[in-house]
Structure 1
Amino acid sequence: MDVRMIAILILLLWNIIVFVFYAVDKYKASHHLWRIPEKVLLTQAILAGGIGAILAGRLVHHKTRKWYFWAAWIVGLIVDIVLIYFILKG
């Protein structure tokens, strides 16, 4: 396995982790439990977790009404696309 494949797998794993964080926060919100801070979710999305965050928003319907989450998701998606481009170009 070459370095590019490892980098893509790390990016995939990170987006799965971000998805899980959003899904867990949705579960906690539904059950009135302690929540994951919004700044954690926003930071994760911006730091190359845009794909996982958008998927979680769409699939578990979490944080879709707040404009600043959509903005963070789009920025994160752009970061993901740029990283994938440079990894594959490498």
Structure 2
Amino acid sequence: MENVSSWLIYLFVANILGFYLMFKDKQKAKQHAYRIPERTFWLLAVLGGSVGIYIGMRSFRHKTKHKSFTIGIPVLIVVNVISFISLVFFL
């Protein structure tokens, strides 16, 4: 059970970070400042932060015109959920 709580903490932090980075990137976009690379969002989403990125997309209306994000991030949410369930029940 310790392992499950460690994974939950990890996922919580990854998703909070994803949400925060979406917020910061939206601010930078409005200010025409240096932006956070899209590969950063993808890497974080693959590593478990897809829910936070998705909520950030919807909350800040950011990256919503990018088909790769509007389709890819929900797909990664499903992959992340399946991966988490597999880790919990099969390890």
TM-score for the superposition, normalised by structure 2: 0.85
> CA contact under 8 A between 1:23 and 1:60: conserved in structure 2?
yes
| 2:44 pairs with 1:34 | no
Equivalent residue number for residue 85 of structure 1: 85
Give the share of equivalent positions with the same residue, in percent.
28
> CA contact under 8 A between 1:49 and 1:76: conserved in structure 2?
no
> CA contact under 8 A between 1:19 and 1:52: conserved in structure 2?
yes
Equivalent residue number for residue 48 of structure 1: 48
CA distance in 1, matches of 2:71, 2:42: 9
Deviations 1:2-30 (A, max 9, x none): 11111111111111111111111001001
Equivalent residue number for residue 68 of structure 1: 68
**Structure 2 gap ranges (5+):** none
User: Alignment length, in residue pairs?
Assistant: 90
RMSD of aligned Cα (Å): 1.6
Q: Higher relative contact order at CA 8 Å, sep ≥6: structure 1 or structure 2? A: 1
Higher helix share: 2
CA distance in 1, matches of 2:69, 2:30: 19
Shift of 1:67: 0.3
TM-score for the superposition, normalised by structure 1: 0.86
Shift of 1:42: 2.2
